[in-house]
Amino acid sequence: MGGQVSASNSFSRLRCRNANEDWMSALCPRLWDVPLHHLSIPGSHDTMTYCLNKKSPISHEESRLLQLLNKAFPCITRPVVLKWSVTQALDVTEQLDAGVRYLDLRIAHMLEGSEKNLHFVHMVYTTALVEDTLTEISEWLEQHPREVVILACRNFEGLSEDLHEYLVACIKNIFGDMLCPRGEVPTLRQLWSRGQQVIVSYEDESSLGRHHELWPGVPYWWGNRVKTEALIRYLETMKSCGRPGGLFVAGINLTENLQYVLAHPSESLEKMTLPNLPRLSAWVREQRPGPGSRCTNIIAGDFIGADSFVSDVIALNQKLLWC
């Protein structure tokens, strides 16, 4: 599988996981009364792509040209697509251990799949099943009762209304009383007092109308840029327009385009991303959480174990104590 961070990062990554495993409960008590949308929260972009492999089918929503190339030259097409689909090297438990508290879950139903088996998707379908992954997250939360996660359920490729109802039923059954019903964005102290650890953002309007446990989709500032400086300019432009009123994400993930892929046939999303992480991390360290119009909230990135990204995002919360 692609997307592996270098061995030189393994020890520092392990230390990062241990240090940040329970970072929310370790915050200064003054921050326990700050609403989640005013805190600085690390997230992972396309959380589930670590489990893609060469046998993973290409999404039916990809271009007709890509579908034809896959049928004609699968031994060439699939490895290339895979190189540009993998955005994470750590599995979901490792991401949670590392301190990630926003998970970007792109959910899909494969046409050739069984009736109720839901997968994740990013150009290709994952091997992991949604129900198994949600159970893994729930089990992690049981071991970390004062940590809170935001699950952004989106994409919903191939989901009928019945499959939406099935997915929501799975969410309710797996998380139960851990779910925080929608309303005003809570503080950590409020969530702890209720035994709630999960906010589910769900980008399907009809499902929102039927289930008060679901929150509207969390806005994601996606720059869709190949170059780091262009992405930073986009994020600064979005900040100048004012932050959304609730939870929102600033994505520091670079995005390839066809021109870039054709010009760099031996590269991958990992090779494009890793050299740019120091500049992106420098931008992260300049941010400030809080209610101000230019403040950030959730910051999500690719290959989150490859540098100090998670610790940098968490450290921004200290700026709230300077006020």
Q: What is the DSSP string of 186-212?
A: PBHHHHHHHT--EEEEE--HHHHHH-T
Cβ atoms of residues 41 and 313 within 8 Å: yes
Radius of gyration of the chain from Cα atoms? 19
pTM of the shown model: 0.91
Residue 1 lies in a domain: no
Q: How many domains are contained in the chain?
A: 1
Provide the pLDDT for residue 2: 39
Alpha-carbon span 144 to 196, nearest angstrom: 12
Task: List, by residue number, the catalytic residues.
Answer: 45, 122
Cα atoms in the 13 Å half-sphere on the side-chain side of 240? 6
Residue 71 lies in a domain: yes
Residue 309 Cα to chain centre, angstroms: 14
Residue 5 lies in a domain: no
Question: Tens of pLDDT along the chain (323 residues)?
Answer: 333 444 334 434 444 447 899 999 999 999 999 999 999 999 999 999 999 877 767 656 655 655 665 555 565 566 777 888 899 999 999 999 999 999 999 999 987 767 788 999 987 888 899 999 999 999 999 999 999 999 999 999 999 999 999 999 999 999 999 999 999 999 999 999 999 999 999 999 999 999 999 999 999 999 999 999 999 999 999 999 999 999 999 999 999 887 887 788 788 999 999 999 999 999 999 999 999 999 999 999 999 999 999 999 999 999 999 86
Provide the pLDDT for residue 125: 86
Residue 176 lies in a domain: yes
**Residue 155 belongs to a domain with what CATH number?**
3.20.20.190
Provide the pLDDT for residue 60: 66
Provide the pLDDT for residue 61: 63
Residue 153 lies in a domain: yes
Cβ atoms of residues 220 and 191 within 8 Å: no
Tell me, what DSSP letter sits at residue 320? G
Domain of 236 in residue numbering reads as: 27-320
Cβ atoms of residues 23 and 41 within 8 Å: no
Residues 182, 187, 193, 198, Cα dihedral to 10°:
50
Q: Measured at the alpha carbon of residue 235, what is the angle toward residues 242 and 155, in degrees to the nearest 5? A: 95
Residue 17 lies in a domain: no
Residue 16 lies in a domain: no
Query: Which residue(s) pair with 220 in the sheet?
Result: 249
Residues 61, 84, 138, 39, Cα dihedral to 10°:
-110
Residue 7 lies in a domain: no
